[in-house]
Amino acid sequence: MIKRPLKRLAKKALINVYKSTHGDAGAAAAPTYDIPETLGQLQTKWAGALRDIYATPIARPASLSPAQGGLLRSLLINIRPATVVELGCFVGVSTIWIASALEENGEGIVHSIDLFDPVVPNPPFSTTYLEDPYEAALKNIETAGLSHRVELHKSASADMASVIPRLLTGPIDFLLIDADHEIKGCVEDFELYHPLVADGGYIMLHDINPDKCGWDGPRFVIDNHIKNSADFELIELPTSPHNHGIALIRKPAPRAGRLDTGPINKVEPPSAFRGLNRAWGFVRNILNV
């Protein structure tokens, strides 16, 4: 009975302290995102939902920018993953970008894991206060018309690592790591989740440029666990507008897996080769090569 008012009081006090020290300057100082034509012109529910979220300071700079989101969506439309896991949902911006691609593909589910703790102003990383990011994410995803492509999990990512395989129908095809950005937490996420990714599957790290984004966890993972490792292929991409950066990592496939086969790309070989391909697949399965 006493706990809730006290909690509310503490939060109110925090907001008041913030307002007295920052006024509206914090929100005004939040970097704005230009909405590219590709998002601005789209008449879909999800595009409208994203435009509305981007219009508020909550998404800046914590969420994927429109340009980064467009890149992610485009990658997923090309890769056609069945199973996506996202660490770090926040209010659902990246989740909506991912789910929009799965919807376009006509298949796939994204499991998004977040603590969903109240967001308190912590400039320059966040300038707004939000009591219940879980409710906000749920509502945003619903407004986007994509609830059927998304499962939200309110949990620490480390705690979900042993639970998530039981909720999936197969290994993870695409993993986005965008949760704890400190070295310890980011390494832990990478170590716990990369074994769950399929051969030939992808891992994306957000915020890889510490001098631009202020976080050093993702860079540490790249430099110490991925670069120079035969287990991973790596490409680092500059991103707009602030070059917080994205890394795309791939677990090489020892042999053709789900992500390397025709059904993923929906490309059928010419009919003369189909029988041969099937026969070869059959022999390969028997010989286990």
Token representation of residue 242: 């602030």
For the segment 75-94, give every residue that binds ligand SAM (CB under 6 A).
Answer: 88, 90, 93-94
| Pairing between β-strand 246-250 and β-strand 233-237 as defined by DSSP bridges | antiparallel
- Residue 150 engages ligand SAM in binding (rule: CB under 6 A): no
Please identify which residue in 79, 102, 113, 198 interacts with ligand SAM, judged by CB under 6 A.
113
- Residue 239 engages ligand SAM in binding (rule: CB under 6 A): no
Nearest distance, CB of residue 169 and ligand SAM, angstroms: 23
Give the residue among 149, 74, 72, 46 at the shortest CA–CA distance from 107. 149
Token representation of residue 90: 């926040």
- Residue 114 engages ligand SAM in binding (rule: CB under 6 A): yes
Please identify which residue in 100, 128, 140, 157 interacts with ligand SAM, judged by CB under 6 A.
157
Q: How many helices (H) and strands (E) does the chain have?
A: 14, 7
First to last CA, the chain: 64
Cβ–Cβ < 8 Å for 66, 50: yes
Cβ–Cβ < 8 Å for 249, 203: yes
The site string for ligand SAM over 168-197 (x = CB under 6 A, - otherwise) reads ----------xxx----x------------
Measured from the CB atom, the residue of 176 and 264 that comes closer to ligand SAM is 176
3-state SS, one letter per residue, for 170-213: CCEEEEEECCCCCHHHHHHHHHHHHHHEEEEEEEEEECCCHHHH
Nearest distance, CB of residue 179 and ligand SAM, angstroms: 4
For the segment 51-70, give every residue that binds ligand SAM (CB under 6 A).
Answer: 62-64
Q: Rounded CA gap, 156 and 144, in Å?
A: 25
Number of residues counted as binding ligand SAM (CB under 6 A): 17
Measured from the CB atom, the residue of 64 and 259 that comes closer to ligand SAM is 64
Binding residues (CB under 6 A) for ligand SAM: these are 62-64, 88, 90, 93-94, 113-115, 117, 156-157, 178-180, 185
